Structure 1
Amino acid sequence: MQYFFTVLTCVLAVSFTSSVDADLNLYVDGNGPDGNGSKARPFQSIQEARDTIRIMRRDGKLKPEDKVTVHIEPGVYSLRMSLMFDKNDSGTKENPVVYRATKPGSVRIQGGLSLGADTFQPVTDAAILKRLPEAARRKVLACDLSTVIKEPFAEFKNSYRGVPVGPWLYVNQRPMTLARWPNADAADEGWASFTKVIDKGLPDPKAKDPAKQKSHPGAFVFDDPRPARWKLDQGVWLLGYWTHDWSDEVIRIADYDPQQKIIKLAAPHSYGIMGGTWGAKARRFFALNVLEELDSPGEWYLDRVNKQLYLYPQGKLDYAEIVLATLTQPLMQVRGTKHIRFENLNFEYGHSEGVSLKNAEGVELAGCVVANLASGGISVSGTQNTIRSCDLYHLGTRGISLSGGDRKQLQRAENRALNNHIHDYGLFQRTYAPGIYAHGCGQIVQNNCIHDAPHNAVLYGGNENLFERNEIYRVVMETGDSGAFYTGRDWTSQGNILRHNFIHNLGGGDAEHVNTMGVYLDDCDSGDTIEGNVFYRTGRAIMIGGGRDNPILNNLVIDCPIGLHVDSRGMTWKQWNDPKSAGWNLEEKAEAMNYKRPPWSTEYPHLAKIMAHSPREPLYNPIRRNVFVDCSKEVCHMDGNVKKLLDKFEIEHNLAVNTTGAEKGIAMTKDLKGFTNLSGSESKPIPLGMTVDINGRLTLQQDPRLLKAKASFQAIPFDEIGLYRDEYRKELPKRDPHSY
């Protein structure tokens, strides 16, 4: 009743004010006594302001077109459930409802439990001390959670992919590392490996044991005796790339035989253990949730039964911000809302995603921080929503997800991700958890900076999506057969444009196979335009994996082992267009879009006639006006079938450059049609390449007269790529030139 009268008092007070001034301003301050929403007596919670607006509209005190602003004072706003907005919270296109921090970065909306430094004390339990490494025993601290968390902690599953069961610990706005071996900063880059398998765990129809006739837990030989130290009955899990370098999974150890040095897993892996892959022979894993390995600053461990939290701090905790993220719902959910804007708010500390927009229209997040979350940052579905100038980092899975529009009718969603800085994501789900995921029809992704992640930067599908002026670097850092931009296995992924992006300094992959790509159009994917991009040290810059209708135009490729790859896998792979093979039902996907009828048949005429025109062949891939600089292995890799089809390819005005005339280590194109070779010398090098300026930023050398004369090349607007300053992003992030 007290809450009702508080809101009613506010409604009466505000209704009096709004009769004089149509603008409604409400104030929130979580640090003061509860008030009526005025500047002198602000609300304590954002929810009170939201509910006041709802009541005023219901009672006719506030018109839909009236301007409404909620001013939120600095403070921590803790949540026990999602902050919810629905259709009743909508504004208008001309006057959206605005929720704004009075000081950018000072409003912390969090879904976790703050822990005081004084709650962490030296470990005194003799049994625990015995399990800890001797060097760490005086450094590890314990926090008794039993007095503040009454409900039991859930247990880890035998296997999982992605987000582990909560909670998770954060100190000073950084996620701590669940005690593991090898350590993440170890000389071996934090991985153990094996090469010998006892049981792949794949179904064997001929096996006498019925359990082995279906998928079952595998087993392998691990020569290092380290597992003998671990208390396996307490639960030890292994995060591994068990067969493919693009498929990670966490599986519990069921048993360890110290004599035979055999680890047996507790659950099957879908691809088996070393079930067959290309790339490095050795398979990788690291162990986690191991109290015996709590030996490094920044590591922690939770005794879930006794509710004891153990931490090896990175320094003194006296003034540390310590949060145990517990909320398993999104911090904020916006459902069916129109025209509402959130400015300069921080959404941090949760064991789910940060912000979820569903069936929204005209909703904007601007200048917000979305960080320290076990799942994704922001998911968007609906139309004309915008994520602008936000910082997203320390995320367990993806950064931003955009979906919406009507693919069948080719109606655009016009959702936008603009000028966002996305980094250090994919911490839990290491593959297919991109910086930006775009699907549906008509998503727009411009001027974002995406870096430092194990796998993709941009994962996309659908139609008419635009990816423009984005900078991407240090992604694909621990995976292989993957790309910074990735899409695959779909004829209907048509009309997408990748233009004027800067992709550089990628990692991961297998150097022998060069299986890291800048743009990867996998498994017959078709309909993408790759135009005016800059690729620098990306592995294979551009890869067309058997698809069609992929124009490769006016790109600049620098210091990449392989500049362009085109293959004919549709002509040679037996699963081509086979509905029984996972994902390969290419024609069936097209039929679902009515691809032989308008608007598809008019927008994509080659697709409409594909089954009557050599559908297995990688046709209609024009390669024009591209410049390849100092490619060390191959300028253009084409398999035997593609070479036989070259008379059907449009290849013209391309340039292969050896900047210094080096006799070894630089590939040229020899007699490939549509290419001109150009060599400089040590004394007079050709001015094409990358340099680092005094601010640590890569700058592009592109001689427009040379390129125009030799390849009809149009200069790329390099200075317009990446983040820019605006009213929300006042400064650009600093760069360490050595990080490239």
Structure 2
Amino acid sequence: MSETLSPAEVYVSSNGNDANPGTEARPLATLEGARDALRALKAQAGLPPGGVTVWLQGGIYHRTESFSLSEQDSGTAEAPIVYRACPGEEPRLVGGVEINDFQPVTDPAVLERLREHARPHVQVADLSAAGVTDLGQLHTRGFTQPLRPAHLELFFQGKPMALANFPGQGWLPMMGAPGGSDWETAYPAAEGFYFRSQELARLASVPDLWVHGYWAYDWADSHLRVESLDPETGLVKVKEPEAVFAGYRTGQRFCFLNLLEALDLAGEYYVDRDSGLLYFYPPSPVTPGSAWVSVLEETLLTLQEVSHVTLQGLTLECARGNGIEITGGEQVLVSGCTLRNLGNSAVLVHSGREHGVERCEIYGMGDGGISVSGGDRPTLTPGGSYAENNHLHHLGRWNRCYSSGALRLEGVGLRARHTLLHDLPRQAIIIGGNEHLVEFNEIHQVCLETGDVGAFYIGRDWTARGNVVRYNFFHHLGGFNYQVMGIYLDDCASGIEVYGNVLYRAGSAVHLGGGREVTIANNVFVDCYSSVHVDARGASPHPQWRNMVYNLMAPKLEALHAFEPPYSERYPELLDLEPYHAPGAPQEGIPPANDVVIHNLSVGGRWLSASWLPPEPGAVEFRDNLVDEDPHFIAPERLDFRLREDSPAFALGFKPIPFEKIGIQPPAAD
């Protein structure tokens, strides 16, 4: 082992010392120590040819504040900087504290609040004895609400535990409101809603009681603090009724949260914020290193205007906020990292060029997974950033709907490729903007808890054009009792190519909701509720759709000067919308036009759904599709939907789909 610091290598160990030289034998102790050593190196001699690698040895690196890199911490194209794990080791950046001293509950007052069957199993730990005094706050969150850090959460054996709730499993139904009980009417949230149960007497005395519900629609949920609960009438009022989207509908679902009285299932916990005590019903014995609580609210790693830096093989976990945030700069790469058990999202790329997130596993997020923004929409300049070969699953613990997607692209010219996404309450991929590429992804067991939802989603923007969704495999979608879509082109989404996708048991597989210039070609549909849905909602006289077209979508055309270059040159078909928005033009809606459905294959289920707000004849061209005829799949029982050479689809112009390239691909050989 060298005792002299090599200019090309710096070593860090959780057992090191920042007074050390940073050699393998005498490593530094912190990321800050390594960062500052590189700053000194750059100031004295500059980065060596080939750059510098900061080697992190395995172990736990406790984070009590964000590790921040700025422009001065950048590498160059010729001399990049890499922060990476030593081979075969796992450096863990942890924003929480281990909790070991759990004891049986002996306090008679607490035992009285617990259900009888749970009393022998629930254990208690004093958080202050472990040095944890900041317990955080439960926040109003959900549809239309800003994203906020999570409260103190408990993670056990690498998984998030459930905040004690009633009914524990499943949901409760709302039973009307003071204004009535018509299920089609959304009643004002300020008046509250009714729920009747023998449990109300126990619930009424609970301090800091919260509710989580899908109050009016199955695509808009929120978490809210209870202001009052009348055990006699069953009337429940929340503290911030303005955060309830659209009011309350009879029969919609909700649950109560944050109550010791409901701590009755293995894997649940409750924090008494007055006493600082953590109550836990462990699913298995608590052993050293198995129980952790999140403390840090700041993002674990932030990079501001940083370029040519790689983060490789790191594990980031157990914090209340985000994992990694990248703003500005270029060519920052997050590679082979594990991000788990965080209160918000894993990786947020806010801006910059050619950043990448690849070969990461992401799970246990309170909100989303990977969000990539970049490029410039007014000039249609591409950002070039991407997410590729990632595995995202079990996300959306707190925000279940649109507030944060599992994988999101926003801007111009971004890519989402070769990703496996599953076990999500809502959408897998959401995009907004122009000329994104979404390809070779496998998506299954998503949209499990929400309704009127698509595994892939885009909507409500005439200008968001040039996007391509191709060679993706959607299967086994949905788990709730309302409509699920595979590829959801919602609310007049236009100018999109949907090509070569395979959709099996994917609900309304491709849902074309009034858009224009959409091509749906060369896709395989198997056992879907409907293979293709088309409608003309943008031309509907209903006030809901007129408001969408003229009050929500028209301002986006104006903001981007869509009838002028570069939009009018890149997308000349946008000029067809100009007469509908000319001064004095009647507001009669905008119909679909120039849509093409060609060379698709559909077997099982229903081929076409066009009965709701049907388009005018000729708005959508259907041609050379193979419908309800044996396509000669190679092995559908093994989900191998490639076609044999004798498939009749080829005579209609169908092209083979590179099925073997879908999903996470093995690393290229060195």
Q: Structure 1 length normalisation: TM-score?
A: 0.83
| 1:670 alignment partner in structure 2 | none
- Distance change (3 Å), C-alpha of 1:248 and 1:77: same
- Distance change (3 Å), C-alpha of 1:574 and 1:690: farther
| 1:535 alignment partner in structure 2 | 503
Given the alignment of the two structures, is residue 373 of structure 1 paired with residue 342 of structure 2, yes or no? yes
Residue 80 of structure 1 aligns to a residue in which SS? Answer: coil
> 1:395, 1:325 → 2: CA distance?
12
- Give the superposition deviation at 1:334: 0.7
Given the alignment of the two structures, is residue 396 of structure 1 paired with residue 376 of structure 2, yes or no? no
Q: Which one has the largest radius of gyration? A: 1
- Distance change (3 Å), C-alpha of 1:104 and 1:37: same
Residue 224 of structure 1 aligns to a residue in which SS? Answer: coil
> 2:89, 2:466 → 1: CA distance?
38
> 1:249, 1:173 → 2: CA distance?
26
Residue 666 (structure 2) aligned to one of 713, 725, 734: 725
> 2:231, 2:106 → 1: CA distance?
31
| 1:669 alignment partner in structure 2 | none
| 1:656 alignment partner in structure 2 | 627
Does the CA contact (< 8 Å) of 2:99 and 2:291 recur in 1? yes
- Give the superposition deviation at 1:342: 1.0
Given the alignment of the two structures, is residue 57 of structure 1 paired with residue 42 of structure 2, yes or no? yes
Does the CA contact (< 8 Å) of 1:136 and 1:295 recur in 2? yes
Does the CA contact (< 8 Å) of 1:422 and 1:449 recur in 2? yes
> 1:155, 1:370 → 2: CA distance?
23
Given the alignment of the two structures, is residue 79 of structure 1 paired with residue 63 of structure 2, yes or no? yes
- Give the superposition deviation at 1:577: 8.0
Does the CA contact (< 8 Å) of 1:339 and 1:361 recur in 2? yes
- Give the superposition deviation at 1:159: 6.7
Does the CA contact (< 8 Å) of 1:368 and 1:390 recur in 2? yes
The one-letter code sitting in structure 2 at the alignment partner of 1:73 is Q
The one-letter code sitting in structure 2 at the alignment partner of 1:712 is G
Tell me the C-alpha RMSD between the 2 structures. Answer: 2.7
- Give the superposition deviation at 1:164: 6.5
| 1:96 alignment partner in structure 2 | 80
> 1:359, 1:517 → 2: CA distance?
35
| 2:459 alignment partner in structure 1 | 488
Residue 217 (structure 2) aligned to one of 225, 244, 247: 244
- List runs of 5+ in structure 2 lacking aligned partners: 182-186, 581-587
- Give the superposition deviation at 1:453: 0.7
Residue 571 (structure 2) aligned to one of 597, 604, 608: 604
Does the CA contact (< 8 Å) of 1:436 and 1:459 recur in 2? yes
Does the CA contact (< 8 Å) of 1:104 and 1:344 recur in 2? no
- Give the superposition deviation at 1:704: 4.1
Given the alignment of the two structures, is residue 358 of structure 1 paired with residue 342 of structure 2, yes or no? no
Does the CA contact (< 8 Å) of 2:189 and 2:248 recur in 1? no
The one-letter code sitting in structure 2 at the alignment partner of 1:170 is F
Residue 293 of structure 2 aligns to a residue in which SS? Answer: strand
> 2:625, 2:95 → 1: CA distance?
54
| 2:596 alignment partner in structure 1 | 622
Does the CA contact (< 8 Å) of 1:72 and 1:101 recur in 2? yes
> 2:299, 2:70 → 1: CA distance?
15
The one-letter code sitting in structure 1 at the alignment partner of 2:157 is N
> 1:164, 1:291 → 2: CA distance?
23
Superposed, which structure 2 residues align to 1:671-686 within 5 Å?
678=629
- Give the superposition deviation at 1:131: 0.6
- Give the superposition deviation at 1:144: 0.8
The one-letter code sitting in structure 1 at the alignment partner of 2:375 is G
- Give the superposition deviation at 1:153: 3.5
The one-letter code sitting in structure 2 at the alignment partner of 1:298 is G
Residue 632 (structure 2) aligned to one of 680, 687, 700: 687
The CA deviation string for residues 76-127 of structure 1, in whole angstroms up to 9 with x for no partner, is 00111101111111111233101110135611011111222xx111112111
> 1:164, 1:139 → 2: CA distance?
30
- Give the superposition deviation at 1:437: 0.7
Superposed, which structure 2 residues align to 1:171-250 within 5 Å?
171-184=156-169, 190-199=170-179, 217-230=190-203, 232-250=205-223
Residue 234 of structure 1 aligns to a residue in which SS? Answer: coil
| 2:584 alignment partner in structure 1 | none
> 1:581, 1:218 → 2: CA distance?
28
- Give the superposition deviation at 1:33: 4.7
Given the alignment of the two structures, is residue 447 of structure 1 paired with residue 418 of structure 2, yes or no? yes
The CA deviation string for residues 282-301 of structure 1, in whole angstroms up to 9 with x for no partner, is 21111110100111111111
Does the CA contact (< 8 Å) of 1:629 and 1:689 recur in 2? no
The CA deviation string for residues 541-589 of structure 1, in whole angstroms up to 9 with x for no partner, is 01111111111111111000111111011111445786x7699432321
Residue 300 of structure 1 aligns to a residue in which SS? Answer: strand
> 2:577, 2:264 → 1: CA distance?
60
- Distance change (3 Å), C-alpha of 1:655 and 1:449: same
- Give the superposition deviation at 1:641: 5.9
The one-letter code sitting in structure 1 at the alignment partner of 2:610 is M
> 1:640, 1:574 → 2: CA distance?
13
Given the alignment of the two structures, is residue 260 of structure 1 paired with residue 233 of structure 2, yes or no? yes
> 1:235, 1:703 → 2: CA distance?
62
The CA deviation string for residues 213-233 of structure 1, in whole angstroms up to 9 with x for no partner, is x96523222232223222545
| 1:504 alignment partner in structure 2 | 475
Residue 372 of structure 1 aligns to a residue in which SS? Answer: strand
Q: How many aligned positions are there? A: 652
| 1:458 alignment partner in structure 2 | 429
The one-letter code sitting in structure 2 at the alignment partner of 1:43 is L
Does the CA contact (< 8 Å) of 1:71 and 1:101 recur in 2? yes
- Give the superposition deviation at 1:154: 4.3
The one-letter code sitting in structure 2 at the alignment partner of 1:545 is G
| 2:583 alignment partner in structure 1 | none
Given the alignment of the two structures, is residue 344 of structure 1 paired with residue 313 of structure 2, yes or no? yes
> 1:57, 1:528 → 2: CA distance?
47
| 1:674 alignment partner in structure 2 | none
- Give the superposition deviation at 1:148: 3.9
Residue 549 of structure 1 aligns to a residue in which SS? Answer: coil
- Distance change (3 Å), C-alpha of 1:581 and 1:534: closer
Residue 198 of structure 1 aligns to a residue in which SS? Answer: coil
Q: Percent identity?
A: 33
Q: Structure 2 length normalisation: TM-score?
A: 0.92
Does the CA contact (< 8 Å) of 1:200 and 1:272 recur in 2? no
Greater alpha carbon shift after TM alignment, 248-257 vs 342-351:
248-257
- Give the superposition deviation at 1:256: 2.8
Does the CA contact (< 8 Å) of 2:98 and 2:292 recur in 1? yes
- Give the superposition deviation at 1:260: 2.6
- Distance change (3 Å), C-alpha of 1:520 and 1:573: farther
> 1:104, 1:707 → 2: CA distance?
51
> 2:149, 2:81 → 1: CA distance?
36
- Distance change (3 Å), C-alpha of 1:576 and 1:286: closer
Residue 517 of structure 1 aligns to a residue in which SS? Answer: strand
| 1:142 alignment partner in structure 2 | 124
> 1:105, 1:691 → 2: CA distance?
41
Residue 382 of structure 1 aligns to a residue in which SS? Answer: coil
The one-letter code sitting in structure 2 at the alignment partner of 1:546 is G
Residue 539 (structure 2) aligned to one of 571, 576, 580: 571
The one-letter code sitting in structure 1 at the alignment partner of 2:373 is S
> 1:57, 1:65 → 2: CA distance?
12
> 1:365, 1:466 → 2: CA distance?
20
- Distance change (3 Å), C-alpha of 1:528 and 1:703: same
> 1:496, 1:95 → 2: CA distance?
35
Does the CA contact (< 8 Å) of 1:197 and 1:273 recur in 2? no
- Distance change (3 Å), C-alpha of 1:109 and 1:150: closer
> 1:721, 1:304 → 2: CA distance?
48
Greater alpha carbon shift after TM alignment, 297-306 vs 64-73:
64-73
Does the CA contact (< 8 Å) of 2:334 and 2:356 recur in 1? yes
Does the CA contact (< 8 Å) of 1:245 and 1:480 recur in 2? yes
Residue 51 of structure 1 aligns to a residue in which SS? Answer: helix
Does the CA contact (< 8 Å) of 1:199 and 1:220 recur in 2? no
> 2:319, 2:468 → 1: CA distance?
35
> 2:175, 2:106 → 1: CA distance?
41
